[in-house]
Amino acid sequence: MFVRLADKIATIALIVLGLISVTISTLDFFVKDLETIPILKETSQITLLLIGVLCFAIGLERFTKFEDMNKRLDKLFDRINNVAPTQVLDGRDAIYGAATELINDAKKVIRASSFRENHKAAPKPYLQSLTNKIERSKTLRQPVEYRLLYGYGSLADLIQTDTHHKAFFISHKIGEYFRYAYLNAPIGLDLLIIDNKHLLIALPTIATDPALRKGIKFVNAPDLVTDISSWYDNYLWSKASDTIPSTQ
């Protein structure tokens, strides 16, 4: 809140400074007595005018961007507050059970992320359900793409989990429908986004234990999910690497 307030103050100051500079420099063309003002003794009218215009332009640009950001945030919060019914999930089994249900409703793209300090392989029933879904979509010639973004802390755990998952899907001859990306940011939050329709957010609740313990499921919430999937694609995925960094 204080950062946003400071931003507003700085922006308004730039606009006011710009207006004052433009006003003084413009009046100086017509009122010669203004030359007694100290700043006009050291600064030409044209220079002061340019400084004023520049300050005003920068301030106006900051104000526009700030207002646009506020509108976007307000819009997102409104969507969250008015979103379709949600369900709170308690425990790892409930989280992966809900994830399995949502996956079965996928039509085009499943976006997932794993943002924990220590990565552990997903439960086999979940991996098998995901495999079955991809295989069915492949048979129907409408293959669903699965995108998995790892946020890593420990490279050793990441490599082990990544290798296990890839081997599992390749063994079922569906490896080509999976895309992976890696981001050095273990923020402790997992996402599952089904098309632009469903969303599952899961997180640990104990600082010393990265296991997922709490989750929330949003069903049939296209407005909210579209915003989240756009953030996933345009921010997270775009900043990630498509290869695991070398451990050497």
Which CATH number belongs to the domain containing residue 114 in this structure?
3.30.870.10
**Do 50 and 94 reside in the same domain of the chain?**
no
171 plus 57 within the same structural domain: no
Angle 128-233-85 from CA coordinates, rounded to 5°: 65
**Tens-of-pLDDT digits for all 248 residues of the chain?**
433 444 444 444 444 444 444 444 444 444 454 444 444 444 454 444 445 445 545 555 555 555 555 565 566 556 555 555 678 888 888 999 999 999 999 999 999 998 865 566 788 888 899 999 999 999 999 999 999 998 887 777 788 888 888 988 998 899 999 999 998 877 777 899 999 999 998 887 665 555 667 888 999 989 889 999 999 999 889 989 988 876 54
Domain identity same for 77 and 93: no
Asked whether residue 90 falls in the same domain as residue 76, the answer is no
pTM of the model as a whole: 0.64
What single-letter amino acid sits at 98?
A: A
Q: Give the per-residue pLDDT at 3.
A: 38
The amino acid occupying position 118 is N
pLDDT at 159: 83
Query: Same structural domain for residues 101 and 187?
Result: yes
Same domain, 67 and 90: no
**Are 191 and 165 in the same domain?**
yes
Q: Looking at residue 107, what is its pLDDT?
A: 95
CA torsion sign for 157, 160, 164, 170 is positive
- How many domains does the chain contain in total? 2
- pLDDT of the residue at 101: 94
Query: Which of 27, 48, 81 is the last residue before a domain boundary?
Result: 81
User: In terms of residue numbers, what domain contains 32?
Assistant: 2-81
- pLDDT confidence of residue 14: 45
Q: State the Cα–Cα distance between residues 178 and 109, nearest whole angstrom.
A: 10
Same domain assignment for residues 150 and 228: yes
**Residue 158: inside a domain, yes or no?**
yes
Tell me, yes or no, whether 77 and 107 share the same domain: no
Residue 247 falls inside a structural domain: no
Q: What is the DSSP string of 174-224?
A: -GGGEEEEEES---S-EEEEETTTEEEEEE--BTTB-S--EEEEE-S-HHH
Q: Which of 29, 63, 81 is the last residue of a domain?
A: 81
Give me 72's structure tokens: 């976007």
In a domain, 188, yes or no: yes
Clarify whether residues 59 and 148 are in a common domain: no
Q: Based on the domain organization, do 37 and 132 belong to the same domain?
A: no
Are residues 220 and 171 part of one domain? Answer: yes
Listed residues 81, 99, 128: the one ending a domain: 81
